[in-house]
Amino acid sequence: MHSKKVRWITGFAAFTCLLWVFGLGWAVKDYLIGTTSTATAPSVSEQPIAAVEQVKIVALGDSLTRGTGDIEGKGYVGYIGDMLKQKGTDISLINLGIKGLTSPGLAEQMQEKEIGRQIGQANVILMTIGGNDLFLGGQTLSDVSEASITGLEDAFLINLKAIMTSIRSVNKDATVYLLGLYNPFSEFENGALLSEVVRGWNYKTAEQLAEDPGTVFVPTYDLFQKNVNDYLFTDHFHPNEKGYQLMAERVAALITGVGGQS
Amino acid sequence: MVNLVQNEMTKLVGKRRFVIISIIIIALLSMFSYAQVKQAESIKERLGTVDWRTELQQQIVDMQNRLSSAGQWREQIQIQIKQSQYYLDHDVNPAEPGAPTFMRGFVQNSAELFLPLLIMIIAVDLVSSERSMGTIKLLLTRPVSRFRILLSKYIALILSVSLVIFLFGILSYIISVIMFGNQGWSAPVLTGFSTQGDTLDISAVRLVSQWQYIIQQFGLAWFISIVVGTLSFMLSILMRSSAAGMGTMLACLIAGAILSNMVSSWDSAKYLFMVNLGLMDYVSGSAPPIEGMTLGFSLAVLAAWMLGSLIVSFTVFTRKDVY
């Protein structure tokens, strides 16, 4: 009465039914009772480090590294990548910037194993840090006192030193480009005073970095000195795409010639 | 009894339902796997490397950046970050490229909506079509009790659901093996994460081989499908028109998908079946839609709904006037 085909399908369906009941039971048992690991973690096979001619760029730091304010979402890091690619350089680019990161936060991030591994493989390290330390989300704007600034500065320099030590402990050769601060508030009421603070901050940062010959301090202060509002995003703090372009051009010009590519 | 079940299966095969379902699965699979290939390419272009650690680290940082503006998703993202970090720290690739990984992701994503929809194609007119075509009279004039007739239909439904899940699995395997290759069956998968608010409990985390994980996932998907199938089965008895049953069930499923995203403050919603369909999220360790829900709880709720609808189905069917 029933065709062979249907008989076969029914039988097979019954078999799959048993299989899934088994799977369900297994899942429930595993979830409720728990088992010991049945698989072993793979032996850590270090991937061959990317081909020699590839330039590995690691970007660290705060919202500027992330690219906040750029409608294209690239930030100076993305534009540097684009510029290098255009020149025919083979790059790999990883952006580890986190919005709102301060120097203690970055020092902490450095301790992560994978971050260390990424930095270890890098030829070029890009970094923006300190902006959030100094501006505290706009607070410093209303309260500029010598003492509080010096306190912030000292803490920052200690953290910066720790960060550089962490980087050098995993990577001795990479060039580190630290982008300096600019004054987003120069057209505000006590803008002139803040500009002075930013210049002092940049100066001390540069001096500190100079202890390590493999680092380059890249000033950005001058880029935003005139017509600051043309280069700032609507939040009056982060650069816009034009501002990021300017920063990127400056850094990209310095990177050329690094990493095996003449 | 066996003959009755065979009879029902003959009807289903005759209606070419399995062919339709296979075609739908194949069409969707081709799109998904193609999209996946494209995505992998774009990631490679963006990062300039195929090293999964780099990619995962970038994902973690991207998630950290979303945290500040995440609002109500904050907890979910935090858990995801911690979980990814755990994978990274233990050197386990969460997405070992290959067919098994694709199958894992595909079944996980389709268990709540796509698979139940396929099941509905079979279940929703199992009884109502007999009524609308008038064949139910022929069926009931046979010297078999109504209870046994309905039981044979239900068994046929369970068998078909199993078959559909199998088709789903085998088709996704065939297509993904062409696209991504066959490697990765024994790749380790971390399971046993449990969540408490925004903290991730990693005390019970263990490694299982991917093939084991996939079988477990399919088991869970099967259970979800059986529950949805049973509910549609009830609707096909209660409602004369298949379209009405289909619409009701669809509304429930879609409501479930929406509710799961916004019920976290409405506590008693956890007794609704459609909020409990995300069984796999417990195993993979993402935060449940309502705090305090566990796999055992969801299974119990679903089983209760299933039992309830079975009781309704059999009582109504054996007492209903047929004219």
Query: Is A41 touching B (CB cutoff 8 A)?
Result: yes
Supply φ then ψ for residue A247, to 5 degrees: -60, -45
pLDDT averaged over every residue in chain A: 83
d(CA B148, CA B5): 10
Of A78-82, B34-38, B114-118, B202-206, the range with the lowest mean pLDDT is B202-206
Q: Are residues A60 and A183 in the same domain?
A: yes
**pLDDT for res A50:** 47
The yes-or-no verdict on residue B304 having pLDDT over 90 is yes
Q: Which residue did the predictor score with more confidence, B97 or B305?
A: B305
d(CA B191, CA B201): 11
Cβ contact A90–B189 (<8 Å): no
Neighbours of B24 (CB within 10 A): 14
At A195-213, the pLDDT tens digits run 888 898 899 999 988 888 8
Which residues lie closer than 8 Å to A120 by C-beta, 6 or more apart? Answer: A170, A171
| B275: closest CA of chain A, how far (Å) | 19
**pLDDT for res B95:** 76
| B220: closest CA of chain A, how far (Å) | 5
Pairing of strands A175-179, B194-196: unpaired
Q: Are residues A145 and A208 in the same domain?
A: yes
Q: Are residues A103 and A222 in the same domain?
A: yes
Angle at B316 between CA B315 and CA B318, to 5 degrees: 70
Q: Are residues A31 and A120 in the same domain?
A: no
Mean pLDDT, residues B151-166: 90
The tokens describing A58, both together, are 């690691």
Query: Is A12 touching B (CB cutoff 8 A)?
Result: yes
Mean pLDDT, residues B124-137: 80
Q: Which residue did the predictor score with more confidence, B156 or B268?
A: B156
Q: Does a structural domain hold residue A201? A: yes
**pLDDT for res A259:** 47
Task: Find the domain containing A13 and state its range.
Answer: 1-36
Choose the mutation target among B78, B96, B216 for the interface with A, i.e. most A CBs under 10 Å. Answer: B216
Mean pLDDT, residues A137-141: 62
At B222-234, the pLDDT tens digits run 999 999 999 998 9
- Residues in A touching B184 (Cβ below 8 Å): none
The tokens describing B174, both together, are 């065939």
Read off the pLDDT band of A260 (50, 70, 90).
very low
Q: Are residues A24 and A112 in the same domain?
A: no
Cα dihedral sign, B283-B288-B294-B298: negative
Read off the pLDDT band of B302 (50, 70, 90).
very high
B47 closest CA partner among B39, B37, B55: B55
**pLDDT for res A43:** 54
Which residues lie closer than 8 Å to A136 by C-beta, 6 or more apart? Answer: none
Of A132-141, B207-216, B300-309, the range with the lowest mean pLDDT is A132-141
At A35-90, the pLDDT tens digits run 655 556 555 554 455 455 788 889 998 888 888 888 888 889 999 988 888 888 88
**pLDDT for res B308:** 94
Per-residue CA distances from B317 to A46, B98, B129, B310 (Å)? 65, 48, 14, 10
Cβ contact B192–A34 (<8 Å): yes
How many beta-carbon pairs below 8 A join chains A and B?
Answer: 167
Nearest beta carbon to residue B216 from set A30, A91, A114: A30
Choose the mutation target among B49, B86, B92, B93 for the interface with A, i.e. most A CBs under 10 Å. Answer: B49
The yes-or-no verdict on residue A262 having pLDDT over 60 is no
Secondary structure, 3-state, chain B:
CHHHHHHHHHHHHHCCHHHHHHHHHHHHHHHHHHHHHHHHHHHHHHHCCCCHHHHHHHHHHHHHHHHCCCHHHHHHHHHHHHHHHHHHHCCCCCCCCCHHHHHHHHHHHHCCCHHHHHHHHHHCCCCHHHHHHCHHHHHHCCCCCHHHHHHHHHHHHHHHHHHHHHHHHHHHHHHHHHHHCCCCCCCEEEECCEEECCEEECCCCEEEEHHHHHHHHHHHHHHHHHHHHHHHHHHHHHCCCHHHHHHHHHHHHHHHHHHHHHCCCCHHHHHCHHHHCCHHHHHHCCCCCCCCCCHHHHHHHHHHHHHHHHHHHHHHHHHCCCC
d(CA A174, CA A223): 26
At B77-92, the pLDDT tens digits run 887 888 888 888 888 8
Q: Does a structural domain hold residue A119? A: yes
Of B33-37, B74-78, B170-174, the range with the lowest mean pLDDT is B74-78
Q: Return the C-alpha torsion angle B278, B157, B216, B252, nearest 10.
A: 0
- Residues in B touching A30 (Cβ below 8 Å): 191-192, 208, 216, 283
**pLDDT for res A257:** 60
Nearest beta carbon to residue B48 from set A28, A31, A91: A91
Q: Are residues A32 and A141 in the same domain?
A: no
Cβ contact B48–A36 (<8 Å): no
Q: Does a structural domain hold residue A222? A: yes
Q: Does a structural domain hold residue A42? A: no
Query: Is A60 touching B (CB cutoff 8 A)?
Result: no
Q: Does a structural domain hold residue A260? A: no
Q: Are residues A77 and A3 in the same domain?
A: no
What 3-state class would DSSP assign to A179?
Answer: strand
**pLDDT for res B242:** 82
Cβ contact B283–A113 (<8 Å): no
- Residues in B touching A42 (Cβ below 8 Å): 91-93, 187-188
Mean pLDDT, residues A243-249: 90
DSSP letters along A28-97, please? HHHHHH-----S-PPP--PPPP--TTPEEEEEEESHHHHTTT-TTS-HHHHHHHHHHHHTT--EEEEE--
Q: What is the CA radius of gyration of chain B?
A: 22
Cβ contact A92–B192 (<8 Å): no
Mean pLDDT, residues B59-86: 79
Q: Are residues A4 and A103 in the same domain?
A: no
d(CA A161, CA B204): 39
The yes-or-no verdict on residue B71 having pLDDT over 80 is no
pLDDT averaged over every residue in chain B: 83
d(CA A217, CA A127): 10
The yes-or-no verdict on residue A139 having pLDDT over 80 is no
Q: Does a structural domain hold residue A43? A: no
Percent of chain B with pLDDT over 70: 95
Mean pLDDT, residues A248-260: 74
Cβ contact B218–A20 (<8 Å): yes
The tokens describing A134, both together, are 């100094």
Q: Cα B314 to the chain's mean position, in Å? A: 26
**pLDDT for res B264:** 67
B88 closest CA partner among B52, B123, B121: B52
Cβ contact A66–B10 (<8 Å): no
Q: Does a structural domain hold residue A91? A: yes
What 3-state class would DSSP assign to A1?
Answer: coil
Nearest beta carbon to residue A114 from set B3, B7, B57: B57
Q: Is A233 left (phi over 0), alpha (psi -120 to 50) or beta?
A: beta
Percent of chain B with pLDDT over 90: 15
* DSSP H helices in chain A: 4-33, 63-66, 75-86, 103-109, 113-121, 131-135, 139-142, 146-170, 191-209, 241-255
Highest mean pLDDT range out of A76-85, A142-151, B271-280? A76-85
Cβ contact A27–B217 (<8 Å): yes
Nearest beta carbon to residue B206 from set A6, A26, A35: A35
Nearest beta carbon to residue A42 from set B6, B64, B188: B188
Tell me which amino acid residue B290 is. Answer: I
Q: Are residues A8 and A128 in the same domain?
A: no
Choose the mutation target among A1, A5, A8, A17 for the interface with B, i.e. most B CBs under 10 Å. Answer: A17
Cβ contact B91–A13 (<8 Å): no
Cβ contact A114–B13 (<8 Å): no
Q: Does a structural domain hold residue A143? A: yes
Mean pLDDT, residues B176-184: 83
Read off the pLDDT band of B310 (50, 70, 90).
very high
Nearest beta carbon to residue B186 from set A23, A39, A91: A39
Question: B210 to chain A: nearest residue by CA?
Answer: A39
What 3-state class would DSSP assign to A194?
Answer: helix
Q: Are residues A114 and A15 in the same domain?
A: no
Q: Which residue did the predictor score with more confidence, A83 or B288?
A: A83
ipTM over 0.95: no
| B54: closest CA of chain A, how far (Å) | 7
Q: For chain A, what is the domain count?
A: 2
| B293: closest CA of chain A, how far (Å) | 13
Q: Are residues A63 and A95 in the same domain?
A: yes
Q: Please return the burial class of B19, using the count of CB atoms within 10 Å of its CB with bins 0-12, 13-18 and 19+.
A: exposed
H-run or E-run covering A215: strand A215-218
Read off the pLDDT band of A126 (50, 70, 90).
very high
Q: Are residues A107 and A237 in the same domain?
A: yes
Cβ contact A13–B57 (<8 Å): no
- Residues in B touching A93 (Cβ below 8 Å): 46-48
**Which residues of chain A from 184 to 213 reach within 8 Å of chain B, CB to CB?**
none
Mean pLDDT, residues B258-272: 77
